[in-house]
Structure 1
Amino acid sequence: MYDYLILTEKKTEYDAFVTALGGETGNFNGHTFIQAHSQGHLLELDEPENMVMPALKEKYSIWDLKNLPWDLNDFNWHKVIKKDHKTGKPAVYAVNLLKNIKKASQQARAIVIATDTDETTGEGELLAWEIINYIGWHGPVYREYHDDESSEAIRRAMADLHDISDPQKDGWFVKGTVRQRWDFGSMALTRAATLLVRDAGYYTRSINEGRLKSVMLSAIFQRLNAIKNYVKRPYYEVRFQDQHKHVFARKIDKNNDELIKKVHHENEAMAKQEQQQYQSPVGITIDGQKTVYQAPHTFTDLTKIDAILSHKGYTSKMIQDTYQILYQNYHYLSYPRSDDKTVTEAQFAKLVQNSKKIASLVGVDLQLLTHLAPRKGLVEQSATHGANRPGSVVPNSLDDLRKPFNTKKQQDCAIDIYTLVAKAALAILGEDYEYQHITAHLTDYPEFQCSFNQPVKYNYKQIYHRGKLPQVGAPLGQQATSFIYSGANSKPSWPTKEWLYNRLDSFKYSIGTPATQQSTLTEISDSNGKT
């Protein structure tokens, strides 16, 4: 008999634990162990009609508006082995893994949950307890909380186990269960939406009304409506500029209608009439000139990768699948579905160790990699997986990234993903971006103001920066001359992937992790990446 059965979430995590503890079986911290792994969720909730009393089966099996809404108290929440979507039968891999885990549990005195530490969703806890309950385990259950998948973090966590034998006192399990049941209940909304659309005369497949899908589709619909209903309203405004094109204008509060009316004229003649009130040219007074240092916060995630690379024609699914292969099969990249924005000290040390080889691979000047001390806010003591970054294995050349893929487009996609992730991570080894922030006003008309940044040292921005580097401009002139600026109310921008991801993050309570947002967009997009 072994003291512990250590249950990990997936094969890659299992491999990390085997490495950290010295084998599939062994002795650690005075306790013997055997290890087994899942492959994500092996069980799922049964069909609605199979989780209710016989008298309610018809109500929950037939798609009809009269059978809605659902009463979640009617369900017994019975779970079955995940099905193969092609055959409708229990998936072979799930059946075999459950058999292996049950067999291993019969040789153990306690189970240690070592799945992902998903504090936000409780997903790792939920899938572990599903397995534990399915195999009929009634012994002690412990939990280790590893900060990441480094050997040091795993050994530290295994030396500090927590008794969670009562699942109802395991907060992460409770959280995961509530989320799963809410998602299941949303199937009723899917049925309602689908029936209503079909009744309106449209033939359609099921219209998913999941928590995140609904918000995404609603945001896109509202933006398209705003574009459709946009009416251009031109205006004319008095501004000043010096000989170097630095513009002085009045700050406008969008909620101050009186000020807007005063500054934004309906026609050019009214603006010219106001212009006559001002002397021109007029002197300039500098208010301040401050040196600012901006530290890099450049780690990327799946949504940013998807948004940035979408203009190259890669679909969300291609990006998702390509990244997964580079991570899972070759360890060229770190865990893709991470929502961490920091790395641990051990992960940072590994990045520093591999930095020169990675930089040479993706064309980064080695002389820029001089900030080798951990930065606060980027390097922390713990992280579930750590922010997206190059993996533990560095390819010998970019051509190595092509080898796993058959089509040129996916080969190019692999190189672009790796290059983007690598440069974003390497940028934290660059020095702070340094610039001068300059503010000024017109001497005689102080309400007309100007502010701009003058780059001094680009530093990390030479490693990774979106778009063009800020340009060094001319200094302020001594005088400014009035002119009439012609503008209009802003037309709503087209709902791109980047717009949508930023929109999701802008809500008071952020909706979904970056990985979930990206995978959900994959589900509601067609093969061309269009929603």
Structure 2
Amino acid sequence: MRVYLCEKPSQGKDIARILGVKQRGNGCYNATGIAVTWCIGHLVEAAPPETYDEQLKRWTIEQLPIIPQHWRVEVKPRTATQFKVVKALLSKATQLVIATDADREGELIAREIIDLCGYRGPVERLWLSALNDVSIRAALGKLRPSAETLPMYYSALARSRADWLVGMNLSRLFTLLGRQAGYDGVLSVGRVQTPTLKLVVDRDREIARFVSVSYWAIEVDLSASGRAFTAQWVAPAASTDDAGRCLQQPVAQQAEQQLRAASSVQVDSVETERVREGPPLLFDLGTLQEVCSRQLGLDVQETLDIAQALYEKHKATTYPRSDCGYLPESMFAEVSTVLDSLFKSDPTLGAIMHQLDRSFQSRAWNDGKVTAHHGIIPTLEPANLSAMNEKELAVYRLIRSHYLAQFLAHHEYDRTVVSLSCGEQALVSTGKQVAVTGWRLVLAEPQGAEEGNTVSRVQVLPALRNGMTCQVAGIDLKALKTLPPRAYTQGELVKSMKHVAKLVSDPRLKQKLKDTVGIGTEATRANIIGGLIVRGYIVKKGRAIRASDAAFTLIDAVPAAIADPGTTAVWEQALDMIETGQLALDTFIDKQAAWITQLIGQYRGTSLSIKIPQGPPCPQCGGATRQRSSKSGPFWSCGRYPDCKGTVPIGTSKASRAAPRKRRSAKSS
């Protein structure tokens, strides 16, 4: 019997339908000689320490480090019924097709089950980039050999075991050291979550340290040939900072007086250059999350959920958990099919369709840049837009627009910089005249953005020439202050996680890192951020996210190497090397275990000097409260517990008199 092992029931249903397997069984679809079943995500998980030794249920420093000699996995209790279904089918299977998600995690989900069930028969791999009928049929017609994707399993297994070693050992170590220092919460340490948290802590500290500086600017309203435009005063170098801002008020006031006394200024030079911009690449997941956070106000997990729904439920877009914005060159043959389907889905695209050049192959088609997955694009078949909710439709339109942009001309504009003078005072005016709209027909330019500069307005200048006189219509002296860095949004945090090499200061790490290596993966970053929010380390404040007191405590307590994003990015690079066969799984885990052992030996006898977060007064007795953890997240609990059972939810001023919650240990990512 041939068994197809999918990741989710919805995928199983789609594949079974294409295979013609219509009979629904218990946790599967079956027919003569064939069965389609699914995992519901991870059916098994890495066993906790107490599985190896019952005494490890109790946390003590003497037990550390905990390093399994023979790694174990165990069936997750809540999905044990489905595991039994899969195990029974595998016991009868003579052929197996892995049909889980086409990525590292999908490989891990399937192969851990295969190993635990003891299946030893032939294995093939179904590699799906989309769940529409045409894509499923095409993928079923060219199954991959098992050996081709096996290294992805080793890479995912290395990631899972490294996470376990760091999370189980260092969370226990620093929680116990924290208790000795009087901290009553769990200090949850994770290979990815802790350096991610450090990014937020560092940004918040940068904001807290920021000292605003006063500066002065002058905006001059001018006119020439009957047309109005504005210019900015250029302060003398001796009075400015590195950004060209005037820090000396008397200098600005003197300039204002001279400009007010004059009725005109003279044009000294006019320089115009034609700027050509190609369309942006197609979306990878991280870029989609960043753009949806900025333009639509969506959390990164919400964006991932919507992208997953567009892929699984609506069959409207391709696989979302991609780290690549390029397409295989072979997919250029599908362009007309995709574009025709887009028009059938939405006839209002008619005007744009007539302007597309279907023969134009943009830089997005590049075999050398494609990774395990290609960029997120619309599928080959018409989508039912009426079945999408408002947010799904908004995300779909972003993905569609980036695809359509590939077939429009470059966006071209003339950028003009005019230098003017009035006695000793210099002015500059910048203008922009669009020559060819091109791909901006479908992707609007962000307001106030021009070539990476902050521009308050984009103006079209009148025709100006050297020596021309312009009339002064108004002068505005502005007293301004420098602004602190902005707090992270979830989208901006994902961007920093992706491009962490830019934030690494250690020259040795910087040299080792590729610019493309980040921390976490497209598939895990949303979960990492969500986990930090649930644990109370990150607090949402509108669209911004800020570090909690507990976050500062944790980052100050753990070794710098654990919290350094550069260290984790090097680990991610090692996982890539395992996937490409350049590094052995066992070698990587042995190095991780040795490093964990060294850290524990170094910190075992140390005392932590940590800040104990102080909460609001106890609502029952008025005494001090301490942060505790529960299944529902962190909360403030009376320091006199169990004599007093007052609690206060974190992030609110509303007090509750609920019974105290049980503290739980936190696994980390």
Please tell me the TM-score bracket, short chain as reference: 0.7 to 0.9
- 1:293-332 residue pairs with structure 2 within 5 A? 293-297=277-281, 299=283, 301=285, 304-305=288-289, 308=292, 316-332=300-316
| Partner residue in 1 for 2:80 | 91
Residues 1:351 and 2:338 are matched in the alignment:
yes
Instruction: Tell me the SS of whatever aligns to 2:77.
Output: coil
Alignment match, 1:492 = 485
Mapping 1:26-105, distance limit 5 Å: 34=34, 36-39=36-39, 40-51=41-52, 54=53, 57-58=54-55, 60-68=56-64, 70-72=65-67, 74-84=68-78, 91-104=80-93
Structure 2 unaligned blocks of 5 or more: 24-31, 224-228, 450-457, 502-516, 546-669
Whole-angstrom distance in 2 between the partners of 1:261 and 1:312: 35
Match of 1:460 among 439, 457, 481: 439
In structure 2, relative to structure 1, the CA distance for the partners of 1:183 and 1:267 (3 Å cut) is same
Give how far 1:64 is off: 3.6
Asked whether the 8 Å contact 1:233–1:489 carries over to 2, the reply is: yes
Q: Which amino acid aligns with 2:84?
A: V
Find the aligned partners of 1:114 and 1:229 in 2 and give their Cα distance.
51
Aligned counterpart, 1:29:
none
Q: Say whether 1:507 aligns with 2:500.
A: yes
TM-score normalised by L of structure 1: 0.72
Q: What's 2:364 paired with?
A: 378
| Distance in 1 between residues matched to 2:45 and 2:99, nearest whole Å | 20
Residues 242, 479 of structure 1: 8 Å contact kept: no
SS at match of 2:71: coil
Distance in structure 2 (CA, Å) of the matches to 1:135 and 1:397? 42
Deviation for aligned residue 1:246: 4.1
Q: What is the CA-CA distance between 1:518 and the residue it aligns to?
A: 2.3
Distance (whole Å) between structure 1 residues aligned to residue 414 and residue 266 of structure 2: 24
Check if 1:127 corresponds to 2:104.
no
Corresponding residue to 2:230 among 245, 256, 263: 245
CA shift in 2, pair 1:17/1:112, >3 Å: same
SS at match of 1:473: coil
Aligned-partner Cα distance in 2 for 1:143–1:151: 13
- Which secondary structure does the structure 2 equivalent of 1:260 belong to? coil
SS in structure 2 of the partner of residue 186 of structure 1: helix
Which amino acid letter does the alignment assign opposite residue 76 of structure 1? H
Residue correspondence of structure 1 range 94-493 to structure 2 within 5 A: 94-104=83-93, 107-108=94-95, 111-118=96-103, 122-141=104-123, 150-151=135-136, 153-154=138-139, 157-158=142-143, 161=145, 163=147, 170-187=150-167, 188-195=169-176, 204=185, 206=186, 208-236=188-216, 243=223, 244-247=229-232, 249=234, 260=241, 264-271=245-252, 281-297=265-281, 299=283, 301=285, 304-305=288-289, 308=292, 316-343=300-327, 345=331, 348-360=335-347, 365-366=351-352, 370-373=356-359, 375-380=361-366, 384-391=372-379, 394=382, 396=384, 398=386, 400-401=387-388, 411-441=389-419, 452-465=431-444, 467-468=446-447, 473-475=460-462, 477=464, 478=468, 486-493=479-486
- In 2, distance between residues paired with 1:223 and 1:368? 47
- Measured in 2, the distance between the counterparts of 1:196 and 1:332 equals 51
Counterparts of 2:87 and 2:424, CA distance in 1: 77
Point out where structure 1 has 5 or more consecutive residues left out of the alignment: 26-31, 85-89, 402-410
- Aligned partner of 1:211: which letter? R
What's the offset of the Cα at 1:183? 1.0
CA–CA separation in structure 1 for the residues paired with 2:499 and 2:295: 23
Q: What SS does structure 2 have at the residue aligned with 1:182? A: helix
Q: Would the alpha carbon gap of residues 313 and 192 (structure 1) be closer, same or farther in structure 2, given more than 3 Å must change? A: farther
Q: 1:417 is aligned with what amino acid?
A: V
1:24 to 1:94, Cα distance in 2 relative to 1, 3 A: same
Q: Which of 520, 523, 529 in structure 1 is aligned with 2:528?
A: 520
* CA–CA separation in structure 2 for the residues paired with 1:446 and 1:176: 63
Aligned residue type for 2:339? V
Are the equivalent residues in 2 in contact too, given 1:239–1:483 (CA < 8 A)?
yes
Q: Contact 1:6/1:33 (CA < 8 Å) preserved in 2? A: no
Q: For 2:210 and 2:430, how far apart are their aligned partners in 1?
A: 31
Shift of 1:46: 0.7
What do the CA deviations read for 1:73-122 (whole angstroms, capped 9, x no partner)?
x44211112232xxxxx532233223223322xx33xx45454443xxx3
CA distance in 2, matches of 1:415, 1:148: 18
| d(CA) in 2 for partners of 1:173, 1:50 | 23
Name the aligned partner's letter for residue 313 of structure 2: N
State percent identity of aligned pairs.
21
In structure 1, distance between residues paired with 2:374 and 2:362: 15
- 1:407: which partner in 2? none
Amino acid at match of 2:359: A
Whole-angstrom CA distance in 2 between matches of 1:412 and 1:196 = 49
Q: What letter is aligned with 1:286? A: V
How far did 1:48 drift? 1.4
Give, in whole Å, the separation in 1 of the partners of 2:356 and 2:242.
Answer: 52
Q: Distance in 2 between matches of 1:419 and 1:473?
A: 30
Residues 369, 141 of structure 1: alpha-carbon distance in 2 compared, 3 angstrom cutoff: same
- Distance across 2 between alignment mates of 1:276 and 1:446: 11
Aligned mates of 1:152, 1:374 — CA distance in 2: 28
Distance verdict in 2 for CA 1:261–1:44, change over 3 Å? closer
Tell me, in whole angstroms, the C-alpha distance in 1 between the residues paired with 2:183 and 2:345.
52
Higher mean Cα deviation, 303-312 or 293-302? Answer: 303-312
CA contact (8 A) 1:290 1:437 kept: yes
Q: SS state of the match for residue 235, structure 1?
A: strand
Contact 1:437 1:451 in 2 (8 A): yes
TM-score by length of 2: 0.59
The answer (yes or no) to whether the contact 2:235–2:252 under 8 Å persists in 1 is no
User: Does structure 2 retain, via aligned residues, the 8 Å contact 1:300–1:421?
Assistant: no
CA distance in 2, matches of 1:162, 1:397: 37
1:195-238 Cα shifts (integer Å, max 9, x gaps)? 5666666665x554333322332222222222222211113468
* Contact 1:250–1:449 under 8 Å retained in 2: no
Relative distance call for 1:295 and 1:414 in structure 2 (3 A) is closer
Give, in whole Å, the separation in 1 of the partners of 2:163 and 2:393: 36
**Could you tell me how far apart the structure 2 residues matched to 1:432 and 1:262 are?**
32
What RMSD in Å do the two structures reach over aligned CA positions?
4.6
- The number of aligned residues is 483
How far did 1:182 drift?
1.0
